[in-house]
């Protein structure tokens, strides 16, 4: 898909992968709408990219966001939250928050904005999932479940839209990314391997997925190995997962 002059809505654009994606898209000549909850951080990203700021909470304001954004050629569903720890200790409110932000909001925004893409015969939907959705991660049961649900939604929607000309679907599966995500989830990332990658690397993969119509991208690419191993050889996969421990 040609990105020059395309209207792109990026959720969770105030920091991390969202901010890096906005910067990468700005170089292509895309017209950006940046959505998030932190007005100050969004303003800084907008100043660097020429984007328009829409302050909102996607968990509760998806309809309002879609209305204010107007017609969108590309939707990057990036906003996400996490929580780490034993499931039995997870506060009930955090369960609902993860489900709302990570799964319900992308589905709602897609339902609201996809008809315009279909009518125009041009559009692309991007879903930023996680390797956690493909393999399940110890101490992140709900987060893994929301990302697995997002991947299944993207896959099914891609099948549904395969005969719709000009409209594509991409899902991104990043590994550990060097963003404020881990601090915000309540448990910083402390493992030495795999080392966190820069959010700009994920941003480049998102731009490439849109341009080339890639349905699935692992970032970094070697992550497809454990994802495929889980399906092909679940026993060895679980043994390796136990050995390498939690993320």
Residue 17 in this model has a pLDDT that exceeds 50? yes
pTM of the model as a whole = 0.91
Cβ-contact 197, 176 below 8 angstroms = yes
Cβ-contact 121, 100 below 8 angstroms = no
Encode pLDDT of 90-99 as tens digits. Answer: 998 999 999 9
What is the DSSP secondary structure assignment for residue 197, as one 8-state letter? B
Q: Up-side HSE of residue 177: CA atoms within 13 Å toward CB?
A: 27
**Boundaries of every domain in the chain:** 7-244
More confident residue, 196 or 173: 173
Encode pLDDT of 64-82 as tens digits. Answer: 999 999 999 999 999 999 9
Which residue out of 83, 143, 153, 237 is catalytically annotated? 143
Cβ-contact 138, 187 below 8 angstroms = no
Cβ-contact 42, 91 below 8 angstroms = no
Just give the CATH number of 7-244. Answer: 3.40.50.720
Q: What is the DSSP string of 18-40?
A: HHHHHHHHHHHT-EEEEEES-HH
To the query of whether residue 189 is one of the catalytic residues in this protein, the response is no
């Amino acid at each position: 898909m040609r990105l020059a002059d395309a209207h792109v809505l990026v959720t969770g654009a105030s920091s991390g992968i969202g901010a890096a994606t906005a910067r990468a898209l700005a170089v292509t000549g895309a017209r950006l709408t940046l959505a998030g909850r932190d007005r100050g951080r969004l303003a800084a990203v907008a100043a660097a990219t020429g984007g328009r700021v829409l302050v909102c909470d996607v968990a509760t304001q998806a309809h309002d966001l879609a209305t204010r954004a107007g017609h969108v050629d590309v939707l990057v569903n990036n906003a996400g939250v996490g929580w780490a720890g034993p499931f039995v200790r997870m506060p009930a409110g955090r369960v609902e928050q993860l489900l709302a932000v990570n799964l319900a909001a992308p589905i709602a925004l897609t339902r609201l904005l996809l008809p315009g893409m279909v009518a125009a015969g041009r559009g692309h939907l991007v879903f930023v999932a996680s390797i956690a959705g493909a393999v399940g991660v110890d101490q992140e049961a709900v987060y893994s479940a929301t990302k697995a649900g997002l991947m299944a939604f993207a896959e099914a929607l891609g099948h549904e839209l395969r005969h719709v000309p000009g409209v594509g679907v991409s899902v991104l599966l990043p590994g550990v990314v060097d963003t404020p995500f881990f601090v915000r989830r309540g448990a910083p990332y402390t493992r030495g391997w795999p080392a966190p990658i820069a959010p700009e690397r994920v941003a480049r993969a998102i731009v490439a997925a849109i341009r080339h119509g890639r349905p699935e991208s692992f970032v970094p690419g070697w992550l497809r190995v454990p994802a495929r191993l889980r399906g092909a050889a679940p026993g060895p996969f679980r043994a390796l997962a136990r050995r390498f421990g939690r993320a």
